[in-house]
Amino acid sequence: MREVVFDTETTGLSAAQGDRLVEIGCVELVNRVETGRTFHCYFNPEREMNPDAQAIHGLSDAFLADKPLFEDEVENLLDFLDDSPLVAHNAMFDFSFLNHELGACGRLHLPMSRMVDTLAISRQKHPGAKHSLDALCTRYGIDRSHRVLHGALLDAQLLAQVYVELTGGRQIGLGLGEAAPLQPMDALQSLTRNPANPGARALRPARPHAASPEELARHAAFVATLKDPLWKDAAEDANVDASTIPA
């Protein structure tokens, strides 16, 4: 299954009050494994940066001045997102900005049904704990030493690792090919291919496993050499041939 983990940086906290998207970073997962494909872009917001926001991500008006407008990159972004589920931390915030930008250039909003919120997953899995991206990286032993400032692509890459841990851990990506897992009886039965029908499986006959008369005689001789074994009296009281009891 393909999923896209993404993060955004903005000029402020409210798209409804005129704040704009200035950066987006996306990471592709297939079956919860990073493929190496990413999408990353800065945008000119056509408005001044809020100083509080700049202190978080470090993106200045001067840096963004020559960057493309959102509408200039929207086609490339939508091509990357495709119809995959979209994973974000506190996803409603990112969706609100992304949908505001899409609406402003005449595109359809992304439906909430595509949203996967790792903040909600973390709150359910770790009630009472801290749920910031930094805290989750610490919890799961994910290296974030290079995260000095927020950055959309870096944060999306960290979140992709966190998401895998939140939803089962790294072992979910270690399947060997497309073979179906063995059923309980498959592990107990020896199977062979039927030459007449290569796609079918036929049970191999069970091998004989009863002791031969010679083996029984040798065992009885051995039991006769034992001196007063604890189980012999109980076997005689129960009228059981002691020579048939494993030594």
Q: What angle do CA 114, 120, 121 make, to 5 degrees?
A: 90
Active site residues: 150
Cα-flanking dihedrals φ and ψ of residue 215, to 5°? -65, -40
Between the alpha carbon of residue 43 and those of residues 61, 67, 73, 138, 226, the distances in Å are 11, 5, 9, 31, 90
Distance from CA of residue 198 to its chain's centroid? Answer: 35
**H/E element, 30:** strand 21-30
Q: What is the CA radius of gyration of the chain?
A: 32
